[in-house]
Amino acid sequence: MDFGFLDQLWVARIPLLKGLGASISISLLSIVVGTVLGVFVGLALTYGYRPLKWLVRGYTDFIRGTPVLVLVLASYYVLSTVGIDLGPFQAGVLALAVFCSSHVGELVRGALQSIPKGQTEAAKAIGLTFPQTFAYVLGPQALRQALPAWVNTAAEMVKASTLLSIIGVGELLLRTQEVISRTFMSLEFYFFAGFLYFVINYGIGRFGRYVERKTAVPS
Amino acid sequence: MTNLLEIRDLHKRYGTVEVLKGVDCSMRQGEVISIIGSSGSGKTTMLRCINMLEEFQGGTISIDGQEIGYQTVGGVRRRKPEREIARQRALTGMAFQQFNLFPHMSAAGNVMLGLVKVKKMSREEARAVAEKWLDRVGLLSRIDHYPGQLSGGQQQRVAIARAIAMNPKLMLFDEVTSALDPELVNEVLQVIKALADDGMSMLIVTHEMRFAYEVSSRVIFMNQGRIGEEGNPREMFLKPKTERLAEFLKTSTFN
Interface touch B148/A136, C-beta < 8 Å: no
Q: How confident is the model at residue A1 (pLDDT cuts 50, 70, 90)?
A: very low
Q: Is B53 on the interface with A (CB under 8 A)?
A: yes
pLDDT in tens, A37-88: 999 999 999 999 999 999 999 999 999 999 999 999 999 999 988 888 899 9
Please tell me the predicted confidence (pLDDT) of residue B214.
92
The letter for the amino acid at B96 is: F
All residues at 6 or more sequence positions from B204 whose CB lies less than 8 Å from its CB, including other chains: B32, B33, B34, B35, B173, B192, B212, B215, B216
In this structure, are residues B4 and B28 in contact, taking their beta carbons and an 8 Å threshold?
Answer: yes
The domain of A184 spans 14-215
Interface touch B100/A122, C-beta < 8 Å: yes
In a domain, A30, yes or no: yes
- A-chain residue closest to B51, CA distance: A125
Q: Is B83 on the interface with A (CB under 8 A)?
A: yes
pLDDT in tens, B157-198: 999 999 999 999 999 999 999 999 999 999 999 999 999 999
Interface touch A126/B103, C-beta < 8 Å: no
Interface touch A129/B114, C-beta < 8 Å: no
In a domain, A2, yes or no: no
Report the relative pairing of strands B58-63 and B5-14 from DSSP bridges: antiparallel
Cβ-based interface (< 8 Å): residues of A facing B: 116, 118-119, 121-130, 132, 136-137, 140-141, 144, 217-219
Interface touch A126/B102, C-beta < 8 Å: no
Distance CA B195, CA B189 (A): 10
The letter for the amino acid at A86 is: L
In a domain, A8, yes or no: no
CA nearest neighbour of B46 among B21, B20, B24: B20
In a domain, A155, yes or no: yes
Angle at A77 between CA A73 and CA A81, to 5 degrees: 150
Please tell me the predicted confidence (pLDDT) of residue B255.
55
Interface touch B53/A127, C-beta < 8 Å: no
Residue B89: list chain A partners with CB under 8 A. Answer: 124-127
CATH number at A45 reads 1.10.3720.10
CATH code that applies to domain B5-251: 3.40.50.300
What percent helix, strand, coil does chain A show, rounded to 5?
A: 85, 0, 15
CA nearest neighbour of B105 among B141, B138, B135, B148: B148
Query: Does residue B144 have a pLDDT over 90?
Result: yes
Q: Is B249 on the interface with A (CB under 8 A)?
A: no
Interface touch B117/A128, C-beta < 8 Å: yes
Minimum distance, in Å, between the CA of residue A95 and any CA atom of chain B: 36
Interface touch B102/A121, C-beta < 8 Å: no
A vs B: CB pairs below 8 A: 80
Sketch the domain layout of chain B as residue ranges.
Answer: 5-251
Domain count, chain A: 1
In a domain, A6, yes or no: no
Distance CA A122, CA B102 (A): 8
pLDDT in tens, A36-48: 999 999 999 999 9
In a domain, A138, yes or no: yes
All residues at 6 or more sequence positions from A71 whose CB lies less than 8 Å from its CB, including other chains: A63, A95, A96, A98, A99
Distance CA A17, CA A23 (A): 10
